[in-house]
With several copies, the nearest count.
Chain A
Amino acid sequence: MNSDYSSDEMMTIAASRALTNKDVCFVGIGAPSAACNIARLTHAPDITLIYESGTIGTAPNILPLSIGDGELCETAISTVPVPEMFRYWLQGGRITIGFLGAAQLDKFGNINTTIIGDYKNPKTRLPGGGGAPEIASSAKQIYITMKQSLRGMVEEIDFFTSFGHGDGSDHRKSLNINTDGPSLLITDLAIWKPDPISKEFTVYSIHEGVTKQMVQDNCGWQIKFFENLEVTKSPTELELKTLRDLKERTQRANSRKEDN
């Protein structure tokens, strides 16, 4: 067991463990990208990673800084035009896991990355949805990763950028959305799964060294816990080394570029 790791590292590694060789992941930049590549470099070498820039089956040696980095194309099985990516690959139902982040998230996995405040006169204008609205409905399952905070995990989001379970229970089905929706939330403190009936994100596993109170203190809604609450295993030496090596390679590659 290794206790010398950050909560960020724990989050990334916990997310990587949820992925398998059979998954076809639509990967966003940041924590999802790191998690997917750790999975690929450890227990799931045959996982398929797809970035919305059109790169299919990439195996980057360093983490891309943007979804369109050259590294993604050079290591891909094929790079297709962006319209094809969204038509044949996402809408075509070929993605098993869509990885999303959130500026605001509610307990039903609904996500806001559009605005804080009012849409017409926003307090803060965020980047917007990008691929998320259709990833949320077309990927078979949605995994969400984010660091917990009272500002981020809220009772009510300001804008429904992408639909999770709506008001919960069978709200998705009632809108003819036939995919599973958010089925996993991995934060820096815990792993959450939707309650089978209400679809409310419920704490399933708490990362080693974290208390229930810490999870609640960093979440804006009243939390529920599954009965048989588990403890997330700390990162193994291999997981940690793989993640750190990847980050170091990435940093080295980027700084070398600037030194030239």
Chain B
Amino acid sequence: MAEFLSLNEAVSENLKEGDTVCFEGFTHLIPHASAHEVIRQKIGNLTIIRMTPDVIYDQLIGMGLVKKMIFSYAGNPGVGLLRRFRDSVEKGWPNKIEIEEHSHSAMAHAYEAGAAGLPCAVFRGYLGAELREVNPNIKTVICPFTGEELTAIPSLKPDVAFIHAQKADKKGNILIEGILGVQKEAVLASKRSIVTVEEIVENLNSHPNATVLPDWTVSSICHVPGGAHPSYARGYYKRDNASYIEWDKIASDRDGFKNWMKENVLDVGVEVFQNRIKNLIENDNE
């Protein structure tokens, strides 16, 4: 049953040094505030999972909190490469992270299989692709009816999933609308989950087939308006493209990165997020 907590409490109660954790969001609804709280609490030695690690994973890596990353596309969408990730993989700063690399299809299947309680995902993947030569977690099974060789990878079952959603109702049911990504699967595949939301409402009043996570599937709910910034929350605020472009420059050198993190993450609290979206609020008249 979901507990309503402050983000500070939710992170310290649910995430431990050495855990396997995912912060999911597919361009939309990326849980930035949660990642910053983890950085402030300096919870390290993490194995971080995400289909599309972008700015927050660059930050976690640059701050030295990451032991290993499982992923399928490490880029700053629409901008370029991830400079802190590259510095770690190419030069070992601040530490050389271990990587387990997959394709999007594989990761999506692995979350889906995790949510479905299966030990592995079976799909048609990696045909002729070299990742299967470098990733020992890509194996095969034979279809017992056609003899076709199919691909198998272990399902993803993180210790903790962080997601950001539009709404929770008073009971703790969570509503996600728009681009859904793999968030529902990530929560259902994980042992524990923390959901930050834009708003807490009396009733969700949602479409019968809308994506709703019942309260008993979630560990903690935190009211964090703006908690996805510079990602966006459909119906609330737009993507802050300028911030993504700026990140490329901020992350380009180690000192610049550290200074920015001190000023914008370590020395501030979760409340800064609601100021950051002020100029991005969705306006129906626009």
Q: Which of B124, B206, B209, B244 contacts A80 (CB 8 A)?
A: B209
Shortest CB distance A125–B (Å):
4
A133 touches B81 (CB 8 A): no
Which residues from B are CB-within-8-Å of A82? 26, 51, 104, 108, 180-182
A162 and B72 alpha carbons, distance in the complex (Å) = 13
Q: Is A65 in contact with chain B by the CB < 8 A criterion?
A: yes
Most buried by B among A74, A76, A127, A132: A127
The closest CB in chain A to the CB of B278 belongs to: A260
Shortest CB distance A96–B (Å):
10
Q: Which size bracket describes the interface of A in this complex?
A: 35 or more
A126 and B178 alpha carbons, distance in the complex (Å) = 29
A176 and B104 alpha carbons, distance in the complex (Å) = 21
Which residues from A are CB-within-8-Å of B188? 88, 92, 94
Q: Which of A55, A70, A78, A133 contacts B131 (CB 8 A)?
A: A133
A55 and B178 alpha carbons, distance in the complex (Å) = 9
Q: Is B115 in contact with chain A by the CB < 8 A criterion?
A: yes
Among the 9-residue stretches B13-21, B35-43, B83-91, B257-265, the one with 4 or more Cβ atoms under 8 Å from chain A is B83-91
Q: Is B75 in contact with chain A by the CB < 8 A criterion?
A: yes
- A68-103, CB < 8 A from B: 68-70, 72-74, 76-83, 85-88, 90-94
B105 touches A94 (CB 8 A): no
Shortest CB distance A258–B (Å):
5
B181 touches A127 (CB 8 A): no
A57 and B180 alpha carbons, distance in the complex (Å) = 16
The answer to whether residues A92 and B117 also contact, given A124-B86, A163-B129, A177-B127 and a CB cut-off of 8 A, is: yes
Q: Is B141 in contact with chain A by the CB < 8 A criterion?
A: no
Shortest CB distance B249–A (Å):
15
The answer to whether residues A128 and B86 also contact, given A82-B180, A133-B131 and a CB cut-off of 8 A, is: no
A81 touches B181 (CB 8 A): yes
Among the 9-residue stretches A46-54, A147-155, A193-201, the one with 4 or more Cβ atoms under 8 Å from chain B is A46-54
A114 and B105 alpha carbons, distance in the complex (Å) = 16
A131 touches B103 (CB 8 A): yes
B182 touches A124 (CB 8 A): no
The answer to whether residues A128 and B209 also contact, given A24-B216, A29-B77 and a CB cut-off of 8 A, is: no
A225 and B86 alpha carbons, distance in the complex (Å) = 39
B26 touches A78 (CB 8 A): no
The answer to whether residues A66 and B108 also contact, given A78-B214, A122-B89, A260-B280 and a CB cut-off of 8 A, is: no
Q: Which of A54, A57, A72, A129 contacts B72 (CB 8 A)?
A: A129
A78 touches B238 (CB 8 A): no
7 contacts between A and B (CB under 8 A): A66-B27, A69-B239, A82-B181, A83-B108, A86-B108, A125-B89, A161-B130
